[in-house]
Chain A
Amino acid sequence: MRGGVRPILIWLAILFSSATLNAIWTGDLVQIGMFVIALGTVGSLVIGVIVANPDALRRGEPGPRGPEVVVRRSFAAFFLALGFAVFVFGWTFGRFPLLVGGGMMIAGIGRLVGEWRAQRQAVRAR
């Protein structure tokens, strides 16, 4: 798909300018570090999109869409989230939730792999 990341690159450029101004004006390493993390998180998302689809950098309208895989539901996403929450809860309330949460996350990842496989098979079958 054409376009999509150019305005976000402008956004990143403005943020970089602001970070530079902050670095010159304050010279505070913690503040500079925070700007670097912010630039890094948004920047890595943009880089990911560009790597997946180099057309995202080009001007122009998005073209006609091909067939898309539609995911209607995902038990894995719910189970992973639940497992992660139980795991984090265990940081306060000890070993049992840590183990249960960890186990649920492993099971959730297994389920997620299964869902992805089924999705890829559906694409191939088309």
Chain B
Amino acid sequence: MRFISTDHKRIGINLVIASLGWFLVGGVFALLMRAQLSGPSNHVLSNASYDEVFTMHGSTMIYLFVTPMALAMGTYLIPLQIGARGLAAPRLALAGFWVWMFGGLIMQSGWFVYSGPGQAGWTAFAPLSNSTYTPGYGQDLWTLGVLLAVLGMIFIAVSLALTIMRRRAPGMTMMRMPIFTWTALVAVLLVIGAFPMLVIAMSLLFADRLGAHIFTGFAGSITYQDLFWFFGHPVVYVMFFPYLGAAAEAVAVNAQKRWFGYTAFVASMLAFSVLSMSVWGHHMFVTDGLTNEYFAFTSTLLLVPAGIEYFDLVGTLIRGRIIPRTAFLFGLGFFIQFLIGGLTGIFTASPVLDYNVYGSYFIVAHFHYTLFAGSVFGFFAGVYHWFPKLTGAKLREGLGKVHLVVIAVGTNLTFMPMFFLGADGMPRRVANYPANPEWGTLNALSTAGSGIVAIAMLIFMANVVISLRHRIPAGDDPWLGHTLEWATSSPPPPLNFVAPLPPIRSYAPLLDLREAVAAQAERAAVGLASGTGAAVPAQGPISDTPPVEKT
């Protein structure tokens, strides 16, 4: 029955487990690629197999892990954070999960057909992806699988958007919604606005593969790129915003402060998300098929909202009473490493610089710093922060910190050398490269780094297993959280809240309550000292003492 449950928590957990499963599959593909590239003329994979593996690695990670995981976090957390009993349109979310899941299975079923799976890259540019240049059922299955997966995510996003618009608790105005909910809201707006374009692109591509000659005929191959990148750039932000929200919440709670500049942050999110729908052309500078000036301008403008986020982060940290828990450190790691991805994005926002790095390993390094070194660190910040809410048990802090150190070393060792390889001209999507001593060394380092990342993932899985088998009970609010999900039991009951919700006067109602209790106690103490006050309990309904850490 749990597979047809419309409870947002169950759908969210199903989505988390399925996405993590796909993450492991995509990770195996990555290790195969790195094994092939560890030396100049390796024969771990043939050229054709390498094409299949890099296509399925990118497709699995983007369509089946990072994007749906962002929606999974939203599905689980949004109703709790806004004080709702459940999702609006829960059947749509459930159908979305299954359509996405079947899409993933259909995409991967290409491994079992004679032609192999999709092999035209995660972008499947036309005409490379048509039936002349990529014949066989595998690419067909890839196209239909992507279509279904994206459609499923649109269904989930519509349900989440309706939930935010229609199911907020009394007192929860839009400007009192938690940071994570805001970041998830702009992400679902991007899904609803931009993802239909990929459904259209995949439908037309499939028709093309049946011989319709759309992208090789009247529409032209640039039109495919336009349609694809109108989805393809916003999806990067769908894979960024919710993880930014998770990292921000982990940082603010562990700094024991409100997130600095809430209103500016919300405004920047609105502008950031719209801008992200207006920059897709920077992926197409080299095609000479569009107005580069417009896209260079909008891409560079992205710096402004991004700067506001970093400003807010620094503002939150200043004078914070920081508790360096694993969630906080992953959150900080997210911001630091994403900065490398973001700053190298400035290169690619400039047509002149982009001409030099397009199609090279520089681009691979850039987007892995945003999506892996950035988003996946934000994801782990969220995991360490909200795991107690999902399960009622804490993850081991000691193992968590080992996980953080190992994955940080592995990530940078994997992706930093790629900047140098790209700057030196090594093209992406090649299975072999010349016996150049520098390229060989840098690739060997990168492969070693990917192995370290795999070890880090094993440490994480060990942490999850140990923490679930030998549970350290978390209680309802182990971190002294700020938002409503911490006002209910861990894990939450079927309709989320049993006790009445605390009054909602800001985005951080639980922090408000603790501050009110502390102020009351302070007033009472002053009153007692001057002999005029009445004694009140110093401890309110919610404790203001940080809990003792157990590792």
Instruction: Decide if B102 touches A85 in the complex (CB within 8 Å).
Output: yes
The number of chain B residues with a CB under 8 A from chain A is: 69
Docked CA distance A73–B10 (Å): 10
Q: Is the CB of A92 within 8 A of B144?
A: yes
Shortest distance from the beta carbon of B270 to any chain A beta carbon, whole Å: 5
The answer to whether B168 touches A62 (Cβ under 8 A) is yes
B92-100, B485-493, B536-544: which lies at the A interface?
B92-100
Query: Is there contact, CB below 8 Å, between A75 and B4?
Result: yes
Q: Check A41/B174 contact, CB under 8 A, given A22-B278, A53-B166.
A: no
Specify which chain A residues have a CB less than 8 angstroms from the CB of B266 in the assembled complex.
7
Majority secondary structure, A binding face: helix
A95 within 8 A of B: no
Interface string of A79-106 (1 = CB under 8 A from B): 0111011001101110000000000000
- Are A61 and B171 in contact, with the CB atoms below 8 A? yes
Q: A22-B278, A28-B291, A85-B103 are contacts. A41–B193 as well, Cβ < 8 Å?
A: yes
Contact of B5 with A61 in the complex, beta carbons under 8 Å: no
Inter-chain contact B173/A3, CB cutoff 8 Å: yes
Shortest B201–chain A CB gap in Å is 10
| Residues 18 to 38 of chain A near chain B (Cβ within 8 Å) | 18-19, 21-22, 25-26, 28, 30-31, 34-35, 37-38
- Give bound CA distance, A8 to B271, whole Å: 11
Instruction: Tell me the residues in window 3-42 of chain B with beta carbons closer than 8 Å to chain A beta carbons.
Output: 3-7
Selecting from B50-58, B156-164, B251-259, the interface stretch reads B156-164
Per-residue contact bits, chain B 145-170, to A (CB 8 Å; 1 contact, 0 not): 00110001000001001101111111
Contact A74 B4 (CB under 8 A): yes
B contact face: mostly helix, strand, loop, or mixed: helix
B206 to chain A, nearest CB (A): 7
Q: Is the CB of A112 within 8 A of B171?
A: no
For residue A107, CB closer than 8 A to chain B, the reply is no
Quote the shortest CB–CB distance from A110 to chain B (angstroms).
14
Q: Given A3-B174, A18-B278, A8 and B148 touching (CB < 8 A)? A: no
B179 beta carbon closer than 8 Å to chain A = no
Chain B 51-82, CB-CB to A under 8 Å as 1, else 0, gives 00000000000000000000000000000000
**Residues 34-69 of chain A, each 1 if its beta carbon lies under 8 Å from chain B, else 0:** 110111011001000100010010001111110010
- The interface residues of chain B lying within 8 Å CB-to-CB of A91 are 140, 144, 206
Judge if A124 is at the interface, Cβ distance under 8 Å: no
Measured between beta carbons, the chain A residues less than 8 angstroms from B98 are 77-78, 81-82, 85
Tell whether, in the assembled complex, residue A62 and residue B192 are in contact, meaning their CB atoms are under 8 Å apart. Answer: no
A45 touches B158 (CB 8 A): yes
User: Is B141 at the interface (CB under 8 A from chain A)?
Assistant: yes
B494: chain A residues at CB < 8 Å are 72
In the complex the two chains form, is B189's CB within 8 Å of A8's CB?
yes
**Contacts known (A31-B226, A77-B4); A68 close to B90, Cβ less than 8 A:** no
Would A74 and B91 be within 8 Å (CB), given that A38-B277, A45-B158, A49-B165 are in contact? Answer: yes
Q: How far is the CA of A112 from the CA of B196 in the complex (A)?
A: 25
Q: Given contacts A1-B168, A89-B106, A91-B144, are A74 and B6 in contact (CB under 8 A)?
A: yes
* Cα-based distance from A61 to B503 in the complex (angstroms): 12
A125 at the interface (CB under 8 A from B): no
Q: Does B293 contact A (CB under 8 A)?
A: yes
Contacts of A45 in B (CB 8 A): 158, 161-162, 192
Query: Which residue on chain B has the smallest CB distance to residue A91?
Result: B144
Q: Is the CB of A92 within 8 A of B140?
A: yes
Shortest beta-carbon distance, B419 to chain A, in Å? 31
A-B contact pairs, 14 of them (CB 8 A): A11-B189, A25-B291, A31-B226, A34-B226, A34-B227, A49-B162, A62-B168, A62-B169, A68-B85, A70-B85, A74-B90, A77-B6, A78-B98, A82-B98
A-binding residues in B (CB < 8 A): 1, 3-7, 85-86, 90-92, 94-99, 102-103, 106, 137, 140-141, 144, 147-148, 152, 158, 161-162, 164-174, 186, 189, 192-194, 196-197, 200, 206, 223, 226-227, 230, 266, 270-271, 273-275, 277-278, 290-291, 293-294, 298, 494-495
The 4 closest A-B pairs by CB, nearest first: A85-B102, A81-B98, A4-B165, A38-B193
